[in-house]
């Protein structure tokens, strides 16, 4: 993943005292340059998908492709001090999006990442990725007009996706159903802010269990869906989960 932070034929990397910027050259257009130069100004002119204390997410149409930009907000000075020496959430998402694409997990293609700095100290960050139109997993599975067989197939795809990540030693860290979007017969993984790679088998086993438990809690109010996903997890995990 380090090669995504070095200048190459595929990536442009600009580093100054106040900002580090990484961008995939295939997406470099005048509009992208404007967005990289003044992300907050451009974000203010477009549709907000979500905003809260932690993140602001904006959808920006850019002609050939649509961009989603996710700004990680700092809560206050104390929060900024705690975060200044840690990897930013934007950098974590940038790195793991490339890794997931490499191992065959569907996640929106990463376009660029911006980190605001003060010398070696990190401030907030922006992660830019391809907009994927689709339906959130919660809305998909709770839609009574979708056939049960289609839901069963998609449930297998989601569990298979998690299994592929876990088999590579990677855990998501926040497996809410709203972090999966259904599009073109695939389950796309969103929100990689808490994603991590585990070399220690014990930590990986514990983190996998947390991923599965968090996902299963999404369906507590629908016992049929909970049973459906439990069956899928049993099929994919039971044979190897306790020994992995």
Q: What is the pLDDT of residues 81-100, one digit of tens each?
A: 555 556 788 999 999 999 99
Render pLDDT for 124-168 as a digit per residue (tens, 0 to 9).
899 999 999 999 999 999 999 999 999 999 999 999 999 999 999
Beta bridge partners of 113: 22, 127
Q: What is the pLDDT of residue 80?
A: 47
**Arithmetic mean of pLDDT over the chain:** 89
Strand-strand pairing, 55-62 and 47-51: antiparallel
Residue 10 has which token pair?
């595929």
**pLDDT tops 60 at residue 30:** yes
Q: Taking residues 42-65, report their average pLDDT.
A: 90
243 — pLDDT class (breaks 50, 70, 90)? very low
Residue 187 vs residue 87, higher pLDDT: 187
Check residue 14 and give its pLDDT: 93
| Residue 47, both tokens | 């549709």
- Other C-beta atoms closer than 10 Å to the C-beta of 236 total 18
Domains and their CATH numbers in the chain: 2-130 (3.30.200), 135-241 (1.10.510.10)
More confident call, 3 vs 174: 174
Kindly report the backbone phi and psi dihedral angles of residue 142, in degrees, each rounded to the nearest multiple of 5, phi listed first. Answer: -90, 0
Question: For the residues 212-239, what does the mean pLDDT come to?
Answer: 92
% pLDDT > 70, the chain:
88
- The confidence score (pLDDT) of residue 1 equals 53
pTM, full prediction = 0.87
Which pLDDT belongs to residue 82?
58
Lowest mean pLDDT among 62-76, 175-189, 192-206: 62-76
| Residue found by looking up tokens 């010398």 in the block | 119
Which pLDDT does position 244 carry in this prediction? 45
Q: Which two tokens stand for residue 201?
A: 């088998």
Mean pLDDT, range 67-92, rounded to an integer: 73
Structure confidence at residue 3 (pLDDT)? 57
């Amino acid at each position: 993943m380090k090669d995504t932070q070095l200048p190459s034929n595929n990536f442009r990397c600009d580093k100054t005292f106040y900002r580090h910027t990484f961008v995939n050259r295939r997406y470099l257009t005048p509009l992208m340059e404007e967005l990289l130069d003044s992300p907050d100004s451009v974000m203010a002119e477009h549709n907000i998908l979500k905003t809260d204390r932690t993140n602001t997410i904006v959808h920006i149409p850019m002609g050939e492709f649509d961009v989603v930009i996710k700004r990680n907000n700092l809560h206050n000075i104390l929060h900024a001090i705690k975060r200044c020496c840690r990897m930013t959430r934007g950098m974590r998402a940038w790195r793991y999006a490339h890794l997931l694409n490499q191992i065959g997990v569907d996640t929106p293609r990463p376009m660029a990442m911006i980190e605001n700095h003060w010398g070696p100290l990190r401030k907030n960050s922006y992660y830019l990725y391809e907009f994927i139109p689709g339906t959130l997993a919660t809305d998909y599975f709770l839609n009574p007009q979708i056939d049960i067989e289609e839901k069963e197939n998609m449930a297998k795809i989601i569990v298979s996706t998690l299994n592929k990540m876990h088999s590579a030693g990677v855990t998501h860290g926040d497996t809410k159903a709203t972090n999966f979007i259904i599009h073109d017969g695939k389950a796309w993984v969103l929100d990689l802010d808490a994603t991590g790679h585990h070399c220690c088998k014990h930590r990986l086993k514990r983190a996998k269990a947390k991923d599965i438990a968090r996902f299963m809690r999404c369906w507590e109010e629908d016992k049929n869906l909970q049973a459906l996903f439990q069956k899928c997890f049993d099929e994919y995990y039971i044979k190897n989960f306790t020994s992995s």
